[in-house]
Amino acid sequence: MGRLVSLTVRASANAEQTDQIPVVLVTVRHPSLSAPAYLSSDPTERISADPLKYGTRHQGQVYDFVLMGTVLPDDEKDSPPKTTLAFENVDADMAKAIRSITPGTYASVDYVVVLAGSPDIVEARYTNLRSVRGSYDAAQVSLDISAEPLTAEPWPAGRMTVSRFPGLFAA
């Protein structure tokens, strides 16, 4: 079964010209960050004049505009959704954030797609993704993100033993 897509998105995707711009909103959380990073792929509106700052307001939260490239997470049958976020390396602190993530820990990433004309209406949502790998060079900072595969979940969740389920073995 395919993903449900609103009529507005389908019309704008098939239109010769449109003012309905898809916007990717990314929330990155990690213990090494003092607060979650809210990032937008579009300078939808001016947030402040001094310092000059653009971003997108989504459900009361301001997402800061950064030069970002991404592809929608894939929906392959036998693998979890995965994609790469690529940010232009225009600030020295961007690579510093990737370097601060200690090995064996993962950043939690929420990925939402909205339209610039209606930023409070969610067109696609990918939550509880995690960073798999981060890399950087002089041009860009990349973050590979993926969902936890369902095959990694233990099944059954618990063994039916006397110590865990004493009522099951009561005589």
Does 162 fall in a domain? yes
Whether 118 contacts 59, CB under 8 Å: no
Show the domain range for 22: 7-169
Residue 79 belongs to some domain of the structure:
yes
Number of structural domains in the chain? 1
Tell me, yes or no, whether 1 lies in a domain: no
**pLDDT band (50, 70, 90) for residue 57:** very high
Quickly state the pLDDT bin for 94 (edges 50, 70, 90).
low
32 belongs to a structural domain: yes
**Which range in 9-18, 46-55, 136-145 is most confidently predicted, on average pLDDT?**
46-55
51-65, 72-86, 110-124: least confidently modelled range: 72-86
Reference 150, options 71, 81, 72; nearest CA is: 81
Average pLDDT, stretch 73-77?
Answer: 72
Return d(Cα 55, Cα 43) in angstroms, integer.
5
Give the single-character DSSP code of 150: G
For the whole model, what pTM was predicted? 0.75
The verdict on residue 28 lying in a domain is yes
